[in-house]
Amino acid sequence: MTKSTRSRRQSRQFASGMSNVSTARADSFSDASSSSEGDGPVTPDMVFIDGLIERLMRAPLKSRVKRSRRAQQFAPEVDVYIKKDDVLRLCCLASDAFLKQSSLVRVPKDMLPATIFGDIHGQFRDLRIAMHTIGEPGEMTYVFLGDYVDRGPQSIEAVCLLLALKIRHPHRVFLLRGNHEDYNTTLIYGFYDECQRKYQDDTEQLVFQNFIHVFNCMPFSALIGEKILCMHGGLSPDLEKLDDINTTIKRPTMVPLHGLATDLVWSDPGACNVGWSQSTRGISFSYDDSVIEQFCLRHKLDFIVRGHQITPEMQGSGYHFTQNGRMVTLFTAYNYLNSGNTGATLQIFPGMKAQFRVFRPIRSKDMPPQAAANNNVYENGGVSNFVNNGRNFFGAFLGQT
C-alpha cells in the first residue's frame, strides 16, 4: 500500500469515527511522523487504544430529557461509558508516553499543518465536532493548550479520547498542561466529583488518582517551527531561556505555589502597570505588552499562543490579540457554560501561515434539515471559517479563506 493511498484511507476512517479495529491493519493507523509508529505488529495495547478511540468517536448522543421552558437547554451528552480497568490501563500508557518527551516539546516545520486548540473543559461532544471538522492526526498535528477537564459535562470522556490519541500518535498529538490539570483545582471545579459519580465503587479513588498522575506527567509548553511558542497560561519572570522549561521543570510534578511551572499554567497578559505585576487571580503574575515584545525579540519568536481565559472581547470570535499582536489568547469550548460564546482553533500551515477556524453555537431550528438530522456531528453546533485581517505584527502571518 502506498503512502498516499494509506493517507486517504486514514482520512476516511477518522471522518466516519474510525474503522472497525478488528479488521484494520497496522498501516491503516500508521503515523508518518515516526518510524516507531509505522507498519509494525499490532500490539495488544494498540488494539486496546484503537478500540477505545473507535468507541469514543462513534458513540451516539444520549436521548434528550424533556425540560420545562425555563430550564436551561444544554447540548446533549455522548452516550458512552469507559470501564474503570480501561481508564487505569489508559492512564498507565499515557503517563509513559508523556515522560518520553520533554517539558518543552518541539513541532518542526515538516510536521505542519498543525491545529492549536484552546480550553476544552469537558465538552466532549464539541471536541468531537472540532476533530471531525479539522481532520485526523495522521494528516494534521494537534497541539492542545490544556484545561481538558472541569466545569463541562464529560471531562472523563474528553480527556480519555485525547490521551488515547496521544498514545496512538505520540509525535502528532501534543497535550500541554493547563491550570485545571492539577489536584487542587480539580477538587473544586468538578472533575473529582465526576470521577466519584461515574465510578461509585471506586472506594480507593484509583480513577481520580491515576488521572492526577497523568496530569503530573504532562509537558508545559510547545514550540512550533522554532517560531511560535505555546503554553496554557503565559510567560514567567523565571523564563530566561526556552530550555529552562526542560532543565527547571522535572516531571512528574504537581503545580507548585510559585515558580516557572506555575506561571506557565497560571499567568495572564494585560497588566495595567509596566512590566510584571501580581495577578488578580491570587497566584502567579500578569504582564504588559512590553514584556511580550521583549521576550519575542530576545528569542526570535513570531508570536505566542495561549489559552486560560475567555474575555468579553472573545465572546464573538473565540480569540483575542494583545495590543501589539504578539500574543493571542485562544478558547475552543464554544457555548461554554451555556453562555453562547464562540470558540476557535488556530491552524498553522507550511510557510508559517496562520488561519483561525471558528465554531459558533446555533440552534437546531436554524440549521439545514440534513445537518440537524445528523446530530452525532452537528446537533446544536455550527462551524465556520474566520480570518482576522490582523493588526500590527501578526497580520503578516494570517492567510485568507
Return the C-alpha cell found at 146: 490544556
Q: Which phi and psi angles does 359 have, rounded to 5°?
A: -115, 115
Please check whether residue 3 lies inside any domain of the structure.
no
- What confidence score (pLDDT) does residue 17 get? 40
Return the C-alpha cell found at 308: 486560560
Characterize the bridge pairing of strands 141-144 and 173-175. Answer: parallel
pLDDT-derived band of residue 363, with 50, 70 and 90 as boundaries? low
Examine the pLDDT at 267 and tell me if it is beyond 70. yes
- What confidence score (pLDDT) does residue 71 get? 53
Q: Where are the beta strands (DSSP E) in 256-400?
A: 268-269, 276-278, 285-287, 303-306, 319-321, 327-330, 343-349, 353-360, 382-385
Please check whether residue 401 lies inside any domain of the structure.
no
- What confidence score (pLDDT) does residue 70 get? 53
CA dist., res. 100 & res. 252, Å (int):
12
- What confidence score (pLDDT) does residue 30 get? 33
Give tens-digit pLDDT for 152-209: 999 999 999 999 999 999 999 999 999 999 999 999 999 999 999 999 999 999 999 9
Q: What percent of the chain has pLDDT over 90?
A: 74
User: What does the CA dihedral 117, 135, 124, 118 come to, rounded to 10 degrees?
Assistant: 0
Q: Please list the active-site residues.
A: 180
pLDDT-derived band of residue 393, with 50, 70 and 90 as boundaries? very low
For the chain, give the number of residues.
401
Please check whether residue 290 lies inside any domain of the structure.
yes
Return the C-alpha cell found at 312: 468579553
pLDDT-derived band of residue 67, with 50, 70 and 90 as boundaries? low
Q: Count the alpha carbons within 13 Å of 239 in the hemisphere toward its beta carbon.
A: 29
Residue scoring higher pLDDT (376 or 96): 96
- What confidence score (pLDDT) does residue 396 get? 30
Q: What is the mean pLDDT of residues 48-67?
A: 89
The one-character DSSP state at 347 is: E
Enclosing domain of residue 132? 44-60+73-359
Q: What is the mean pLDDT of residues 75-86?
A: 94
Q: How far is CA 36 from CA 31, 39, 173, 374, in A?
A: 9, 9, 15, 37
Nearest CA to 29 out of 54, 62, 66 is that of: 54
Q: What is the mean pLDDT of residues 348-361?
A: 95
Q: In a 3-state reduction of DSSP, which class is residue 117? A: strand
- What confidence score (pLDDT) does residue 373 get? 39
Please check whether residue 329 lies inside any domain of the structure.
yes
In DSSP notation, 20-80 reads -TTT--GGGG--TT-GGGSS----HHHHHHHHHHHHHHHPPBPPPPP--TTS--PPPPB--
Q: Count the alpha carbons within 13 Å of 379 in the hemisphere toward its beta carbon.
A: 16
Give tens-digit pLDDT for 273-290: 999 999 999 999 999 999
Please check whether residue 25 lies inside any domain of the structure.
no
Give tens-digit pLDDT for 376-391: 333 333 333 333 323 2
Return the C-alpha cell found at 207: 480513577
Q: For the chain, how many structural domains are there in total?
A: 1
Least confident of 5-19, 88-102, 253-267: 5-19
Please check whether residue 153 lies inside any domain of the structure.
yes
CA dist., res. 316 & res. 303, Å (int):
22
Give tens-digit pLDDT for 317-344: 999 999 999 999 999 999 999 999 999 9
pTM of the model: 0.83
Question: 90 and 163 in contact (C-beta within 8 Å)?
Answer: yes
Q: HEC profile for 153-182?
A: CCHHHHHHHHHHHHHHCCCCEEECCCCCCC
CATH number at residue 50: 3.60.21.10
Return the C-alpha cell found at 80: 458512552
pLDDT-derived band of residue 76, with 50, 70 and 90 as boundaries? confident
Please check whether residue 332 lies inside any domain of the structure.
yes
pLDDT-derived band of residue 139, with 50, 70 and 90 as boundaries? confident
CA dist., res. 401 & res. 397, Å (int):
13
**Those residues with Cβ within 8 angstroms of residue 367's Cβ, 6 or more apart along the chain or in another chain:** 378, 382
Sign of the dihedral through C-alpha 367, 368, 370, 371: negative
Beta bridge partners of 359: 343, 383
Please check whether residue 311 lies inside any domain of the structure.
yes
Question: 99 and 217 in contact (C-beta within 8 Å)?
Answer: yes
